[in-house]
Each structure stands twice: as C-alpha cells, then as structure tokens.
Amino acid sequence: MFCCFQREMTSPLQSQNPRIHDNCRAWVFGLLAGAIGWLGSFSTDAADRKTLLVLGDSIAAGYGLEPQQAFPALLQEKIDAAGWNVEVINGGVSGDTTAGGLRRINWMLKRPIDILVIELGGNDGLRGLSPDMTRTNLQAIIDRVREKNSRTSIVIAGMRMPDNMGSVYTKEFANVFPALAKANEVFLIPFLLESVGGVAGLNQADQIHPNAEGHRIVAGNVWKIIEPLLAKTPPVDHLKRTTAQETPAGKP
C-alpha cells in the first residue's frame, strides 16, 4: 500500500508549481498524522486487553472436535457476549502431562497473562503416575507464573480418576488439586468434568473425551469460577505487555 502511494505522489511532489507542492505535502503529513493516531489508539486497546490462558491437555485442545467446539472457544464466546475485552488463548496439547506443561510454561509466559487456568493432570492419572509427582509439577508451574507476575490469577481444574484405578490411588490423586489450591490460595474448579465424566451421551466413543455437548457443560463449570475473576482482575502492567510484545515469538 505504501509503495503504491509513493508512485502516485511522485509527479505532484516534483512539480515546479509551489502551490501544488505545498498542498500535496500538507496532504501527506495530514494522512501520516491520522495513521499515527490510529495506531496509537490500537496500541492502547491492545494494552487494555486481558489475556486468559488455558494450559491444558487433549480436553482443552478439543480432541476429536473442531477447535470452536472446545471449551476454551466456548469461554471466548461467553466473554464476548458479556462485552469484556479479553482474549482466550488455548494452550491445550493432546497427551500432555503436568511435566509437559511445566516444560512449556516459560514459553507461554512470554506473553503476559492475567488469568491462568491449569487443566492438567488427567494424563498423569491415566498413566498411573505418582500423585506426588503431579503435585510437584503443578506447584512448579504455579511458582513460575508467580515469579513472572504475582498479580496473575491462577485457577486449578480438579480432576478425578475412574474407580478401576483403585480406591487408594483415586483418593490420593483427587486430593492433589484442592490441596494445592488451598496451600497456594488460588482458585479451584472442584471437578472439571462435573456432570460430564462417566455420562455416555456426553462423551465420545472412548468415553474419556467430552463430545460437543459435553464441552458446553465443561465450559459452564469453568465459567462459574472465572466469571467473577474477569470482572475484577486488573490488566497486567502496560510496561510488561510492551516488553513481552517486543520479545520474538517461538520456543527458546
């Protein structure tokens, strides 16, 4: 666009008529001033926008579904309908564990985050990993987020395992999430899959991943916790946002 503009203005600007020259120059400066003002307004809007990151596994990623059917996209719809200037980032990776989330979190934090929803742990449990390991990894994620920005609101999504994992294991695993929430004074979604887990009609053929209707219920479970946070969480400092935007994207 700018190159075409230059070609169109070459002849008038080089004209020997001073009046034409002055008028064209004034027009160019006026156009540039307007463009700069528009960009300034855009930057202000971007700086005021809050960011909600869902750090998750295949549930957040919408395994087996279209991206717009997954609960993070449904949260964005609810946020837009409420008129809030918030962007939801879907950081869901199928098959991810708490260890995988811990490896990814530094890269995800290159962009300032106002609210973090940690939806991890389900694959730890299905693989029979030690609940202590799950707890350690989740704690490390919380610590890194707080080191980056202590004002980030953190939400932990609780998970449970099926009874066939054994009563001792399922109890220890389920206790990880409320215990972490209490110890760190963060917010808790008691059970992400409330009213969905174990309900055949709300899950896909594997009876593990929610179907489209199941995701709508999951989005409602998350919404109950994050709605009041969205209303009161202050935006991350403008200076920190600017610094983060200047950082090249991509994994280190």
Task: Please check whether residue 71 is in contact with residue 37, taking contact to mean a CB–CB distance below 8 angstroms.
Answer: no
Only one residue has tokens 């990894």, namely 137
Q: Distance between alpha carbon 76 and the CA centroid of its chain, in Å?
A: 10
Active-site residue flag, 209: yes
For the chain, the 3-state helix, strand and coil shares in percent, each to the nearest 5, are: 60, 10, 30
Q: Among 58, 96, 114, 215, which one carries the catalytic annotation?
A: 58
130 is catalytic: no
The rounded distance, in Å, linking the Cα atoms of 139 and 192 is 19
Q: E strands along 97-180, which residues?
A: 115-119, 153-157
- The verdict on whether 21 is a catalytic residue reads no
Distance CA 54, CA 219 (A): 12
Task: State how far the alpha carbon of 232 is from the alpha carbons of 142, 176, 235, in Å.
Answer: 20, 27, 9
Q: Which one-letter DSSP state was computed for residue 248?
A: P
Q: Which residues are catalytic?
A: 58, 206, 209
